[in-house]
Amino acid sequence: MLTSTTPDPALAPGLWDELVRLVRGGDVCVLTGAGISTESGIPAYRGADGERRVTPMTVSELLRSPAARQRYWARAYTGWPRFAAAEPNDGHRAVARLQDLGLVGTVITQNVDGLHQQAGARDVTELHGSLSYVVCADCGERYAREVVDEWLAGANPHFDREISGQVRPDGDVVLTDEQVAGFRIAACVVCRSDRLKPDVVMFGESVVRPVVDACFEAVDRSRALLVLGSSLMVMSGYRFARHAAREGIPVAAITHGVTRADDLIDVKVDAPLGPTLRRLVEAVAA
């Protein structure tokens, strides 16, 4: 593996040239993680050491316990305006630009923030779903998040959602038990169940098979896999790097810190995503 830990890729010309050559060759499949959205103000789940910083709520906890649902939705309601206000950064724009240049095909993202699409990317597969939707666990009805947000606002006219605290990658803000107490959760208007969940793959859930298979096919159609801002610590993303390596498809990565797939990656640049991707676009377009 070629590795650069320098923030300035130009200081490692051999490595940089190899990355440019791979992307310029076209038919690149891109796989992105939380690292591409940190410059938009959405923090990553893990530090550069690969350790998890926060423990997400499991789906079974959410669906089993009314108290867990109250906690989840109070936090999510507080975090939503901040999460929804996040805007694409240079990294997202660069990925869309690489598609415009005809070099990148499918974008597989582990993120639930919709920022690739906001930046103009097409053919985006949201591996872990989208926080823009909410589903009823009992009847399967699907709602736009804005609609559920209005229900929650109506049910909680005195709740202070300006509470300070940083939004987390899953879109919520940590609150104390006192802050959560009294929060009223919303119910599905079709079946009246209050077992509403975000339309994302929560901790304890798996990505559905048709989505996984479509991603494997996208990798198979590609001449290279470019991993952006992911430590690949969870199998949902790691398996695509492993699959590419097995099939002899080169794997490149721009990310911070260690990844689970370091031994599978052919070219790795450890550098900030936005500036590095902007420079990559300039280099391949030249």
Annotated binding site for Zn(2+): 136, 139, 188, 191
Question: Contact at 8 Å (CB) between 17 and 163?
Answer: no
Is 285 a binding residue for Zn ion by CB under 5 A? The answer is no
List 48, 85, 190, 285, residue binding Zn ion (CB under 5 A): 190
Q: Give the 3-state secondary structure of residue 29.
A: strand
Site string for Zn ion, 240-279 (x = CB under 5 A): ----------------------------------------
Strands (E), the chain: 2-4, 28-32, 104-109, 124-126, 129-136, 142-144, 196-200, 224-228, 251-254, 267-269
Residue list 12-51, contact with Zn ion (CB under 5 A): none
Q: Which stretch binds Zn ion (CB under 5 A): 5-13, 70-78, 130-138, 214-222?
A: 130-138
Stretch that binds Zn ion, among 133-141, 158-166, 211-219, 221-229 (CB under 5 A): 133-141
Q: Per rule CB under 5 A, is residue 136 in the interface with Zn ion?
A: yes
Rg (CA), the chain: 20
- What DSSP line would sit under 52-94, residue for residue? BSS-PPBHHHHHH-HHHHHHHHHHHHHHHHHHHT----HHHHH
User: Which residue is listed with tokens 């070629």?
Assistant: 2
Are 226 and 23 within 8 A, CB to CB? yes
- By CB under 5 A, name the one of 85, 147, 191, 208 that touches Zn ion: 191
Q: How far apart are the first and last CA of the chain?
A: 26
Length of the chain: 286
Q: Closer to Zn ion by CB, 137 or 180: give it.
A: 137
Residues annotated within a binding site = 136, 139, 188, 191
Q: How far is the CB of 136 from Zn ion (least distance, A)?
A: 3
Query: Binding segment for Zn ion among 60-68, 141-149, 198-206, 271-279 (CB under 5 A)?
Result: 141-149
**Other Cβ atoms closer than 10 A to 269:** 24
Q: Which of 188, 200, 224, 267 binds Zn ion (CB under 5 A)?
A: 188
Is there binding between residue 189 and Zn ion (CB under 5 A)? no
Identity of the residue, 88 or 129, whose beta carbon is nearer to Zn ion in the bound complex: 129
Residue type, 56: P
Residue 256 appears among annotated catalytic residues: no
Contact positions with Zn ion (CB under 5 A) in 193-212: 193
Q: Cβ of residue 92: shortest distance to Zn ion, in angstroms?
A: 34
Question: How many CB atoms are closer than 10 A to CB 104?
Answer: 26
Of the residues 128, 158, 243, 256, only one is catalytic, namely 128
**Closer residue to Zn ion in complex, CB, 136/251:** 136
169, 160 contact by CB (below 8 A): no
**For Zn ion, the closer CB: 202 or 252:** 202
Gap between the Cα atoms of 26 and 35, Å rounded: 23
Active site residues: 128
Interacting residues toward Zn ion by CB under 5 A? 136, 138-139, 141, 188, 190-191, 193
